Structure 1
Amino acid sequence: MDQEQAFNARRHFIKLTGLTTAGILLSPSNTFSMNIGSDDAFKPAILGGAPIRSKPWPEWPIWNVETDEKLVVDNLRSGVWSRAALVKEFEEKWAKEIGTKRSLSVVNGTNALIVSLMQSNIGAGDEVIIPVYTFIATAAAVLATGAIPIFVDVDPETFQIDPKKIEAKITSKTKAIVPVHILGMPADMASIMKIAKKHQLLVIEDACQAHLAEINHQRVGSFGDAGCFSFQNSKNLAIGEGGAITSNNDALMDRCYSYHNYGNPYGAMVGNVSAGTLIPGNKLRWTEYQAAIGLVQLKRLQAQTDKRHENATYLRSKIMSIPGITPYRLYENVTKAAFHLFAFRYNKNEFKGLSRPDFVKAMKAEGIPVMEGYAPLNKMPYLANAFQSKNYRKMYTAKELDINVYNKRNECPVNDKLCNEEALWIFHSTLLTEKEDMNDIYNALEKVHANAEAIKKSIK
């Protein structure tokens, strides 16, 4: 260990132990700290040292047998398993949580997006603007309607769609914007709604990762024409699979309800075979036991959201001092984020050139579950395959389906850098611990930073 590494290691040791003899230990000529059996504390776990954290992080989803199972078991024993009173109760409570008149449950968040777009008359020949930094479901939903997704580059500080780049992508074919509150952090809805109003565009919010996130104390999913949520197993409100649409537009919600129940009239009951089908529909209904799980999970969602926001805010304040680590930024009007994922950017130049994959390995060795995140969504084969499909070739001209022209129009260089070099995530259940647990993440980052050169050399 050279002099610089020893100095950095002593500095890290002081932070870990809280020693008051910092002035003595940080003296470059002092070797006392290296002779008290503390090498293991300095040494990165990936090189055989002791990890910062061996205590497990909270598992997800959370299930309490004593408090959670009665409603679900009672429903199973009742035999009433198709959509009925429990589904209606969940929908009413979810609408109240989001602050909209109506809510409709569907089988997943992807179908929440598809149904919202289809019943807003989005289809063949239309373009829908979406962020490039998002999960595949956002683009897949647009393609499912027969429309074409148009990608807008990311604001790397917030990880959200960059509103300053939206208008350049609007054409006469543009019919809607789908802002995504990605990672549980709200997009800049004030700017997006102004653009949508100016160009008379629909706004369908993809809030699948943003349960109870707020802008000026208004919940996301209540700003646009509709909001879409996911309750898949990893989400902040976990049901296994499931989704919901929220809206204040009664006519839209009536159509969505009809579509999700075979196209039968709004309010038609399950099992009614003579209701008289009104529109081409699908079967996307919830079961009662899904709703029972959701109602149980909903009871603790607010407290969990508050805890995530509090711990994320604290962790952000700690790690922003580490060279090469740049945590997320929230827009000024955000009053609460859901933090489905805690996001930060990594600059390998400040870590002696340590690659991002090797940094992730070093952090995991320290007991910190760090992930690299999304690949560029605009550069995957599904787009060319969709354009080559029978339906798309019937709906569009060859010129409109020229994938090379499309790719050039949809270049997003900021996103390329974010996805390929910078972005890192920590899963939301990690934020459901106590404030002192956040120090483990900070200390691991400090430890890897202080030993980046040694880690880099050892991995070659």
Structure 2
Amino acid sequence: MQNQDFSRRKFIKAAAITTAAAGLGVTPGMSGAKETLAVLGGSAVRQGRIGPSWPYIDDKVIESVLKTVKSGVWSRIQSATGTVPTFEQHFAKLVGAPYCVGTGSGTQALSTCVEAMNLGPGDEVITSPYTDFGTISAILTSRALPVLVDVDPLSFQLDPGEVEKHINANTRAIMPVHIMGLPANMERIMAIAKKHNLKVIEDACQAPFSRYQGKAVGLIGDLGTFSFQASKAIACGEGGAVVGSDEKLMNECFTVQNRGASKQGKNERIGPKYRMNEFEGAVLLGQLDGAKERFEIRNANANYLASKLKDFPGLKPQKQYEGTESGAYYNFAMSYDKEFFNGADRAKFLKAINAEGVPFTSYIKNGLHREPWVDNIIRLKAYTKFFSPQRLKSYKEGMQLKNTDLITDQTMVVMWGSGTLLAERSELDKIVDAIHKVHENRDKLKTI
């Protein structure tokens, strides 16, 4: 077995070479006698929270909210210079977008895009099964059909080869998800979209400021969306934004989120009220100045962790596509290989590593192809009227996605990144120490 060949000595040697090359010195706790796992009664490698508390709060954020409370301007329609329009301008500049429209959530941002593109009954939108349900919900809200295709098992992103296999006469758009905050394979996706004359909506809800092949994520497709939910890198509880370069299409987005009323005040089309409120705008404005700096810290720390794990096959950091320049790292994601942990399944590893004070999780429990909504929608009038029985039957049968099942059931391990990846390097070293400790006690994992 490869596992037996990968000794602690080799593991330590690889990590030491990596850290020495980076001028960081040898990680503490890398030598000495074998320690008992905390889950079996030993001492934990570390205790307490890793990184700062989250969401981000400082005096500037508080002052911004108080100023808004006292102003009496609590809705964006009260002032053209309120916190929401001001945030839209500042965020657009930070991202490099010509236009930005704020919404009440990332899901609302996606729904705004779907509706602005006039996607609806009879239309199909190809997207990922490995995402938050908000991605799917945004398509269902307009009664279009979300077509789920399998993902790459190491990048966790849409597999472009699978995307092309599922294009038919009803396909109108592709919605790639930049999962974990790292860019999807947009070069291939955009080539497929161009070949088949399809729209592209980027679900960049986890990926603000990420860059790919010289472009900001969210500005590669026709429209891009971001989320400012409480766990995100830029947070206001809930909140979202749409960005784009096409002025006409972005005006449609504004009209949709403004319950169908255009900037000229005319009631022009179907649209829910998805407006971001002034309090959300105030919280966001209060933290924008340092958002890019925190983004850079997360990138540096994610790269540091990846370098420590580079020669350790038991946990492989998320695969990145050629041309990936940076990522938002909503999660630092890894693939778990039980063969390097004496055959112990992921649940055993997670129990052991959490006992050492390292908050790794399996993240999304089920691919969205295995959730009840599938059986629900294929019985609804909106779908039975616009799709043939044969299409709905093949749609249901197509929910066999082996790579997604592998990720959710066996291999995915993540560490939340928004706050955790702002930690001091000494804390990151302890994460690595804990991984080493669990690995050297791998023969004990099946007893947990």
Q: Same fold (TM over 0.5)?
A: yes
One-letter amino acid of the counterpart of residue 392, structure 2: L
How much has 1:257 moved relative to structure 2?
1.2
Contact kept, 8 Å, 1:130 with 1:150, in 2: the verdict is: yes
Residue 95 of structure 2 corresponds to 98
Does 2:338 align with 1:348?
A: yes
Contact kept, 8 Å, 1:130 with 1:151, in 2: the verdict is: yes
* Aligned counterparts of 1:195 and 1:16: Cα–Cα separation in 2: 45
* Aligned counterparts of 1:239 and 1:167: Cα–Cα separation in 2: 37
Given candidates 315, 322, 330, the residue that maps to 1:332 is 322
* Aligned counterparts of 1:265 and 1:68: Cα–Cα separation in 2: 31
* Aligned counterparts of 1:129 and 1:456: Cα–Cα separation in 2: 40
Does 2:248 align with 1:251?
A: yes
- Structure 1's unaligned 5+ residue stretches are 26-32, 34-38, 269-275
SS of alignment partner, residue 149 of structure 1: strand
Residue 388 of structure 1 corresponds to 379
Residue 59 of structure 1 corresponds to 53
- Structure 2's unaligned 5+ residue stretches are 17-25
Residue 76 of structure 1 corresponds to 69
How much has 1:184 moved relative to structure 2?
0.2
* Aligned counterparts of 1:164 and 1:434: Cα–Cα separation in 2: 40
Count how many residue pairs are aligned between Structure 1 and Structure 2: 424
Residue 28 of structure 1 corresponds to none
Deviations 1:57-114 (A, max 9, x none): 12211211x3321121011011110113211110111111222211001111111111
SS of alignment partner, residue 160 of structure 1: coil
Residue 400 of structure 2 corresponds to 411
One-letter amino acid of the counterpart of residue 59, structure 1: S
How much has 1:222 moved relative to structure 2?
0.5
* Aligned counterparts of 1:116 and 1:207: Cα–Cα separation in 2: 13
Does 2:204 align with 1:203?
A: no
* Aligned counterparts of 2:64 and 2:131: Cα–Cα separation in 1: 35
* Aligned counterparts of 1:321 and 1:401: Cα–Cα separation in 2: 46
Deviations 1:304-363 (A, max 9, x none): 110111011110111232342111121120111110000001111221122211211111
One-letter amino acid of the counterpart of residue 391, structure 2: E
Contact kept, 8 Å, 2:121 with 2:382, in 1: the verdict is: no
Residue 397 of structure 1 corresponds to 388
Bigger CA drift: 214-223 or 238-247?
214-223
Deviations 1:413-450 (A, max 9, x none): 11111111001110012110122321111111111111
How much has 1:408 moved relative to structure 2?
2.6
How much has 1:16 moved relative to structure 2?
6.5
Seen in structure 2, the aligned counterparts of structure 1 residues 186 and 107 have a Cα distance that, compared at 3 Å, is same
With normalisation by structure 1, the TM-score equals 0.88
With normalisation by structure 2, the TM-score equals 0.90
* Aligned counterparts of 2:112 and 2:337: Cα–Cα separation in 1: 40
SS of alignment partner, residue 316 of structure 2: strand
Deviations 1:6-41 (A, max 9, x none): x959x98x976568xx7xx7xxxxxxx5xxxxx7xx
The CA RMSD over aligned residues, in Å, is 2.1
One-letter amino acid of the counterpart of residue 444, structure 2: A
How much has 1:410 moved relative to structure 2?
3.8
One-letter amino acid of the counterpart of residue 404, structure 2: N
Seen in structure 2, the aligned counterparts of structure 1 residues 174 and 17 have a Cα distance that, compared at 3 Å, is closer
* Aligned counterparts of 1:312 and 1:17: Cα–Cα separation in 2: 19
How much has 1:241 moved relative to structure 2?
0.5
Give the 4+ runs in structure 1 shifted more than 6 A. none
Flag the structure with more relative contact order, 1 or 2, with Cα contacts below 8 A and sequence separation at least 6: 2
* Aligned counterparts of 1:46 and 1:8: Cα–Cα separation in 2: 20
Contact kept, 8 Å, 1:180 with 1:206, in 2: the verdict is: yes
* Aligned counterparts of 2:382 and 2:413: Cα–Cα separation in 1: 38
Identity %: 37
Larger radius of gyration: 1
How much has 1:261 moved relative to structure 2?
1.6
Contact kept, 8 Å, 1:46 with 1:455, in 2: the verdict is: no
Seen in structure 2, the aligned counterparts of structure 1 residues 187 and 16 have a Cα distance that, compared at 3 Å, is closer
* Aligned counterparts of 2:256 and 2:140: Cα–Cα separation in 1: 18
Given candidates 104, 107, 112, the residue that maps to 2:109 is 112
* Aligned counterparts of 2:199 and 2:356: Cα–Cα separation in 1: 46
* Aligned counterparts of 1:325 and 1:156: Cα–Cα separation in 2: 13
Residue 145 of structure 2 corresponds to 148
Seen in structure 2, the aligned counterparts of structure 1 residues 93 and 340 have a Cα distance that, compared at 3 Å, is same
Residue 36 of structure 1 corresponds to none
Deviations 1:178-213 (A, max 9, x none): 011110000111111111111100000000000100
Given candidates 403, 411, 417, the residue that maps to 1:422 is 411
One-letter amino acid of the counterpart of residue 85, structure 2: K
* Aligned counterparts of 1:390 and 1:162: Cα–Cα separation in 2: 31
| Equivalence map 1:215-234=2 (5 Å) | 215-234=212-231
Contact kept, 8 Å, 2:103 with 2:240, in 1: the verdict is: yes
Seen in structure 2, the aligned counterparts of structure 1 residues 256 and 337 have a Cα distance that, compared at 3 Å, is same
* Aligned counterparts of 2:277 and 2:118: Cα–Cα separation in 1: 28
Contact kept, 8 Å, 2:104 with 2:277, in 1: the verdict is: no
Residue 262 of structure 1 corresponds to 259
SS of alignment partner, residue 322 of structure 2: coil
Seen in structure 2, the aligned counterparts of structure 1 residues 350 and 407 have a Cα distance that, compared at 3 Å, is farther
* Aligned counterparts of 2:227 and 2:60: Cα–Cα separation in 1: 24
One-letter amino acid of the counterpart of residue 64, structure 2: L
Seen in structure 2, the aligned counterparts of structure 1 residues 8 and 313 have a Cα distance that, compared at 3 Å, is closer
